Structure 1
Amino acid sequence: MIRDYADHAANERTFLAWLRTGIAVIAFGFVIEKFDLFALTLLAGTGPGEEARAELERYSGPFGFGAGHAFIAVGILVILGATVRFVRTGRLLDDTAVHAPGILPDLAFGVILAALLVALSAYLVFA
């Protein structure tokens, strides 16, 4: 039997939740990046009215490319950070000393993701 199995299982569940979050952020980055291709396909294929054409051209700019890559990079960093945190927490669980929890990685991830979402929202609203 593994000593403190419940704690190790909770650590693994937390790790898997962070992995799902990282994969979701990467997938969102792909969606943002490929929206330009979707908008350009709509422009070429159906020949929408001038107002719809102007709206699609406005959304198919270089910002989507950069924002998509930024979300993909943040998703990869989340997965790497989750892996480091999982290994570190596993070692700390096996240690008999008492350790203080650290919130800096979680806070940094939240701030970076919020900044990306604000930038993307501002672009979509004011562009």
Structure 2
Amino acid sequence: MILRFSDHAANERTYLAWVRTAITVMAFGFLLERFDIFLAYASHAMGSTMPKLHVLASEWLGLALLAFGALLVLLATLSFHRNRAAIDREGNELYRRGGMERLLSGLLIAMAVFLVIYVAQQVVALS
């Protein structure tokens, strides 16, 4: 029998949830990086030209999301191993976490605000 199995299983479920989140962020980054194909098609259908700045913005933000997803996997792996070692140690210790979660949440909120502004500008420009 594995000692503290339920704690280890919860740690693994949390790790897998972070990995799924990272895969989703990377997929969204890839989609956004390819968003210029949609913009080119839409601007061609409207009979206008697409500004190069908007293409570069979607490419850079898409690459940033891809890198952010990779960073999520790295941080989740480090957290998983740190928690695994803490579960195996004898004794009690205080739970002092939250820095990584705050940083990642802040970055996601900043990217979401940028995306809202970016897409709103595109909608206004195409209409």
Q: 2:99 aligns with which of 97, 104, 117?
A: 104
Alignment gaps of 5+ in structure 2: 123-127
Q: Percent identity?
A: 34
The letter for the 2-side match of 1:21 is: T
**Aligned mate of 1:91, from 85, 89, 113:** 85
Instruction: Give the CA deviation at 1:97.
Output: 2.5
Q: How far did residue 99 of structure 1 move? A: 2.2
Within 5 Å, give how 1:16-35 maps onto structure 2.
16-35=16-35
| Distance in structure 2 (CA, Å) of the matches to 1:85 and 1:97 | 19
Q: What is the CA–CA distance in structure 2 between the aligned matches of 1:126 and 1:35, rounded to whole Å?
A: 14
The number of residue pairs the alignment matches comes to 120
- Give the distance between the partners of 1:12 and 1:114, measured in 2 at CA: 26
Q: Name the stretch that deviates more: 57-66 or 93-102.
A: 57-66
The root-mean-square deviation of aligned C-alpha atoms, in Å, is: 2.0
Check the 8 A contact 1:35/1:60 in 2, yes or no. Answer: no
In structure 1, what is the equivalent of residue 109 of structure 2?
A: 114
TM-score by length of 2: 0.85
1:68 matches 2:62: yes
SS at match of 1:25: helix
Deviation at 1:26, TM superposition (A): 0.3
CA, structure 1 residues 43+111, in 2 after alignment: closer, same or farther (shift >3 Å)? Answer: closer
Residue aligning to 2:38: 38
Provide the secondary structure at the position in 2 that maps to 1:61: helix
Aligned to 2:125: none
Secondary structure of the residue aligned to 1:48 is: helix
